[in-house]
A = this chain, B = another copy of it.
Amino acid sequence: MHRVPSESVTRFALGELAAQLGAELIGDPAHIVSRIASLDTADSASISFLSNPRYLSALASSKAGCVIVSPLHRDAAALRGAALIAADPYFCFARLTQLWAAQSRRNFEALVHPLAVVHSGARLASGVSVGPLAVIEDGAVIGDGAVIGAQCFIGVGASVGAQTRLSAQVVLGAGCHIGERGIVHSGVVIGADGFGFAPHDGRWEKIEQLGGVRIGDDVEIGANTCIDRGALDDTVIESGVKLDNLVQIGHNVHIGAHSALAGTAAVSGSTRIGKHCTMAGGAGVVGHVTLADHVHLGARSVATHSIHKPGLYTGLFPIDDNASWEKNAATLRQLHRLRERIRALEKGNETKSS
């Protein structure tokens, strides 16, 4: 995404921030802040926030010009200086970063760069920005105010919803669709063929992937993530889903609304993930299974079967110093026999007591 060079400065008066964030201000509404910072690195020109009570001790000593706190910490905050009181300080901080970005980042011009290659059969709504050297093919549809970054590729018949922004070098394959207000980072590939082959005489016969990809509204997709097209039906990502970098989504996967998958997570083909699920970094799900709504997978944990009950699930070998690991791993390979030896000991005791 285009940003302004670092010499530009973002500035807000506290009164303006209070109004825009719907927060109560304690302190001077004319005080100017020009930086968002953590409690311990903040200075008088910074605004900071306290969302985790663990950092309460840092609040008192913070030099921040203003802090965002919950009503619970109003008094503690007021003791040290200006404060914005918000029901959910972390949410308020998120909104603050959005105000910051809106002021600090250069707007995209509603302009098709003269060196973009846009097919005459593509339809671009008003306010669309197309970067240099982007390619938009026949039948593609780009919604109001959407941004197609430099060097992007939009295939035949694909569509991009209104206000959705694609960073440089995104590939949206033919017949694939993304909704409104989405954010797609560089290197993302949407609509490559799913991995489908029929084994035959020791070779792999290609199953052409005839489906597409349908992505809802308000979806964010991290750098170099891949979402494959479906074999017959579409791969579906519902609205509000957030995917981090280097995530792999196989063909005909269905991800429910507002689920979030962290970096290098992977979902194999035809698996259905519920709404409001999370997968921590590197978590995975095998193919053809179902996760219920509100299922959470721990880091690197792989769901090898369907999970019907909400909750947190983990499967990760605990890290240890290498010497200890070697001993334990060696023993692990005999674990089943250890169990039999315990059973034998128990039987021996039973015999003796009888």
Interface residues of A (CB under 8 A from B): 1-6, 36-38, 41, 88, 90-91, 93-95, 97-98, 100-101, 104, 106, 115, 117, 131-133, 135, 137-139, 149-151, 153, 155-157, 167-169, 171, 173-175, 183, 185-187, 189, 192-193, 195, 197-198, 200, 202-210, 212, 218, 220, 222-224, 226, 228, 231-233, 240, 242, 244-246, 248, 250, 258, 260, 262-264, 266, 268, 276, 280-282, 284, 286-287, 297-304, 311-322, 324-336, 338-339, 341-342, 345-346, 348-349
Q: Min CB distance, A288 to chain B, in Å?
A: 11
- For this chain, the copies found in one complex come to 3
List chain B residues, Cβ under 8 A from A174.
1-4
Residues of B with C-beta under 8 A to A37: 232
Q: With A208-B97, A223-B192 in contact, do A245 and B248 touch (Cβ < 8 Å)?
A: yes
Query: Which chain B residues lie closer than 8 Å to A156 at the CB level?
Result: 2-5, 106
Chain B residues positioned under 8 Å from A224 (CB to CB): 187, 189, 224, 226, 246
A-B residue pairs in contact (CB < 8 Å), sample of 27: A3-B174, A6-B212, A91-B198, A94-B198, A97-B206, A97-B231, A117-B133, A133-B133, A133-B135, A187-B226, A189-B223, A192-B222, A192-B223, A193-B220, A197-B260, A224-B246, A226-B245, A264-B266, A280-B286, A281-B284, A281-B286, A281-B287, A311-B322, A314-B319, A314-B325, A324-B333, A331-B336
Smallest CB gap from A348: residue in B: B349
Bound-state CA distance A244–B88 (Å) is: 40
B residues less than 8 Å from A106 (CB atoms): 156
A171-B169, A316-B302, A341-B346 are contacts. A139–B5 as well, Cβ < 8 Å?
A: yes
CB distance A202 to B268 under 8 Å? no
| Known contacts A3-B157, A189-B187: A233-B315 contact under CB 8 Å | no
Closest beta carbon of chain B to A162's beta carbon, Å: 17
Nearest CB to that of A311 among chain B residues?
B321
Interface pair A322/B316, CB less than 8 Å apart: no
CA–CA, A342 and B94, complex, Å: 52
Q: Are A3 and B167 in contact (CB under 8 A)?
A: no
Cα–Cα, bound, A334→B202 (Å):
40
Contact residue among B248, B263, B266 (Cβ-Cβ distance under 8 Å from A268): B263
Collect the chain B residues with CB atoms within 8 Å of residue A183's CB.
193, 206
Cβ-neighbour of A315 out of B93, B317, B346 (below 8 A): B317
Closest 6 CB pairs of A and B: A3-B174, A5-B157, A315-B319, A5-B139, A192-B223, A101-B208
A198 CA / B212 CA spacing, docked (Å): 31
Most buried by B among A131, A133, A338: A133
In-complex Cβ contact of A192 among B2, B207, B232, B245 (8 A): B245
Q: Nearest Cβ in chain B — how far from A320, in angstroms?
A: 6
The residue in A137, A223, A313, A333 that gathers the most chain B C-beta atoms within 10 A of its C-beta is A223
In the bound complex, what is the Cα–Cα distance between A37 and B183 (angstroms)? 32
**Which residues of the partner chain B approach A6 to less than 8 Å between Cβ atoms?**
157, 175, 212
Please, how many angstroms separate the alpha-carbon atoms of A62 and B327 in the complex? Answer: 40
Query: Which of the residues B149, B250, B299 comes within 8 Å of A286, measured between beta carbons?
Result: B299
